[in-house]
Amino acid sequence: MTVFEQLLETFKTEQKTWLVTGNAGFIGSNLSEFLLSHNQKVIGLDNFSTGYQHNIDDILASVGEEATKNFTFIEGDIADFDTCVKACEGVDIVLHQAALGSVPRSIADPVTSNRSNITGFLNMLTAAKDAGIKRFVYASSSSVYGDSKELPKVEERTGNLLSPYAAMKMTNELYAGVFLKTYGMETLGLRYFNVFGRRQDPDGAYAAVIPKWVGSLLEGEDVYINGDGETSRDFTYIDNVIQMNLLAGTTDNTEAFGEAFNVAVGGRNTLNELYKLIKNEINNSPITNHQSQITKKAIYRDFRPGDIRHSNANISKAQNFVGYAPTHDIYQGMEEAIEWYIENIGKK
């Protein structure tokens, strides 16, 4: 039995209250759904800047009537301290996912991103501290590795930061470390590596590459690859991220507190490989409605400012400290994700 399987057994008889910020977003909604479906109480906080009401509706529809009684939603902004104070009432564990994501967004408008990603982060940390909440798990990012050429990436060695977003996430990690030393808070940072899966938004200027490409292919639109397509990423399925959040939220290993962990699979695929994989999955899916095979070639354009060239994680620290054991590689994850994308893209 894995550490995570053991944890799910305890959930059957032990109920805690989890605050999930960014509850209406991609990762936050998946965390909330999983917790509610495993006998936990969830308080959700979101201002709908990048999240959606339909994600919350989906959660409540999927978990059943009894589990919905364990869910409370607060519409509010983490940049407002009083909202954070209200959200922390009666909470045991914070899973802080709320942020304005995207490297390009932060380059275009660093001030607005800073308001959410640093002011909002500090508000949440402080409100949690004041409420007596010990455990604070938060979303960091693989962007903190900057121009480091080392592969795979290990947590202790980062390079020069390449974007305001990366600087904000590194600042989160610094604050979390200080709150451990100063206030004894059990902070754990999760450096996400290109997460994908159900409920990921395919629309908007800053949509993640996988749902954006899937949406474009299903609609017969052009697909663009930044650079030569040999840029590589450690694509990580949402179920692995759920597991790591819950392990971080419950671990009793004191050595994990104040640390940051890679959340990935430990693999690496180029954008060219990714595009081929997505086309194959769509073409081979039994629920695809198109009449003929998708053969469209991608269009290459300039590299994007602030992007890391190669990203590949060493996940041994997460494995050793909290018992992380990813269940999905990119191929297993993509098979599940493509089905969801096909069934849901364009319906919302």
**pLDDT score for 270:** 96
Could you tell me what percent of the chain has a pLDDT over 70? 97
346 pLDDT above the threshold of 60: no
Q: In a 10 Å sphere around its CB, with 0-12 CB exposed, 13-18 middle and 19+ buried, how is residue 289 labelled?
A: exposed
Q: What is the pLDDT of residues 290-340, one digit of tens each?
A: 556 787 899 999 998 878 888 899 999 999 999 999 999 999 999 999 989
156 pLDDT above the threshold of 60: yes
Q: What is the pLDDT of residues 90-136, one digit of tens each?
A: 999 999 999 998 888 999 999 999 999 999 999 999 999 999 999 99
On whether the CB atoms of residues 234 and 266 are closer than 8 A, the answer is yes
347 pLDDT above the threshold of 60: no
How large is the average pLDDT for residues 281-286? 85
Which residue among 52, 138, 145, 165 is the active-site one? Answer: 165
> Which residues, 6+ apart, have CB-to-CB distance to 27 below 8 Å?
97, 139, 192, 195, 238, 241
76 pLDDT above the threshold of 80: yes
Q: What is the pLDDT of residues 37-68, one digit of tens each?
A: 999 999 999 999 999 999 999 999 999 999 99
CATH number of the domain enclosing 213:
3.40.50.720
Pairing of strands 93-96, 232-233: unpaired
Q: What is the pLDDT of residues 199-249, one digit of tens each?
A: 998 877 667 889 999 989 988 889 999 999 999 999 999 999 999 999 999
Domain housing 44: 3-344
184 pLDDT above the threshold of 90: yes
**pLDDT score for 289:** 57
**Helix, strand, coil percent values for the chain (each to nearest 5):** 45, 15, 40
DSSP string, 247-268: HHHH---GGGTTEEEEES-S--
On whether the CB atoms of residues 66 and 43 are closer than 8 A, the answer is no
The token pair at 79 is 């940049």
DSSP state of 288: -
Residue with structure tokens 């906080």? 45
Is 224 labeled as catalytic in the residue annotation? no
Domain count, the chain: 1
Residues β-bridged to residue 195: 236
Q: In a 10 Å sphere around its CB, with 0-12 CB exposed, 13-18 middle and 19+ buried, how is residue 112 labelled?
A: middle
**pLDDT score for 292:** 60
On whether the CB atoms of residues 240 and 327 are closer than 8 A, the answer is yes
**pLDDT score for 288:** 62
The token pair at 52 is 């959606």
How much is the mean pLDDT over the chain?
A: 94
72 pLDDT above the threshold of 80: yes
**Least confident segment among 100-104, 148-152, 179-183, 195-199:** 100-104
**pLDDT score for 285:** 80
On whether the CB atoms of residues 238 and 197 are closer than 8 A, the answer is yes
